[in-house]
Structure 1
């Protein structure tokens, strides 16, 4: 969605809101919970948006990192917060969508206890390797992985998160035996692979591209519909015929499930406006992401579909976390 479309959505949200929209005020600081460690895609985006939202809402928007359990600790904090719009969750929602199938005793009900406010961005995944891996392209990487069972450690953001499941699908498609290594978030996984502790990663372009530009990681392939402008020679999963070709990090904002509709609409409108700010839009593009602002209803439909799609992958791989 381009800037004009984002501005149009912000205006539409405001026009379609109840008359009480203007009355939806905020009387103390707003906590923007990021359930992953600093330096990952969610954290980068939260800190990019916080200043504009502070100005728009008239209260400080404070980013808090509450890590653990694949994002569920932070999500549970928001789910159990007062339903007044003062505690928000910014998360990779494709990862959040795996929680109901991974946990039999999830401490919150995703559909009941969290209210979608708006989607924010889509960032494709970059599959990259440490420079010590003797593979310069996809064909060489697949051949090396198949010839060297368990030689490659694949760092990911946690069991059951989007990049872990994508990695499982891809390596199964290769017919290769790789070792999946969970870390406490994408930032920790990136650091580990850049240091050579693990040798391969599939992770959001927003956080991964800088490592590739610096030469500390070697990009091999990307998800999404098109090659990245910064890496025009790197093929897409689509071109390679790999599965999960449209997977990636889909970032969104949610509130507590009982949050009044006018408050949800006000937040959605202000966030859409913030996302359309020229400096923010340019920064998102520079990070290799695409603006995908969606209102609450479209976001809910998307999330319901993701829950179903990833539950099939979880079941097929017999994954459980409790």
Structure 2
């Protein structure tokens, strides 16, 4: 029997948010609508953050209003605080996500708060999501390496995963944010995290900066993970890690999984069209 693996599409949010040139709202909607035809169960569409901090996501409400929603697809939004959650809920986000760091240095740079303080900020979001019946996902950044603090201790990742679990996250995505993870460091990290949350509630989120994302996926598959975040066309990066590549490309991950006998359920013809379109957005940005 073929084992099923799910790819959670990140391109419209995690992919586009680091692009310097403002991408037209219509192009963001067109990308989501194309991805909706590919067979994804979950697509992260946008982020309800302050436009002052992430100008690219300033049209979140318009994008959510403009997409053609397809039955069976969950349209997710990142929500860093209660105000963001309320806007996302009003915009009919199917689910929301909160994000914490496994290192103090990255937490202060990315969230302007300690890990403990950032988690406290998310409690009102968690309470509101629970009251509204909105599923909430969690992210942990820099799970193996931090650009400020160096290697991340697996126990530090496990502590943050436990906090997000206790806050009500149905799944926690583990981010190799700067793409410096190696199969052995991913495996060691998972060895600690699996003591807090089972593999069927974890996802791998691996950037391809060092060209090891697919190897890290393989290490995670061996540990039982069956959900992986990816960005069509390899969009993305990290503002705190100059030169960091984007998420592992959806099309590369899908073919890699299929070659190993895993079923991802995606229409590769649609994925390839979406990847080509995504690359035009990046090419225009970096022209």
Please say whether Structure 1 and Structure 2 have the same fold, judged by a TM-score greater than 0.5. no
Give the structure-1-normalised TM-score: 0.27
Give the structure-2-normalised TM-score: 0.29
| Higher relative contact order, chain-length normalized (CA < 8 Å, sep 6+) | 1
Say which one has the larger Rg.
Answer: 1
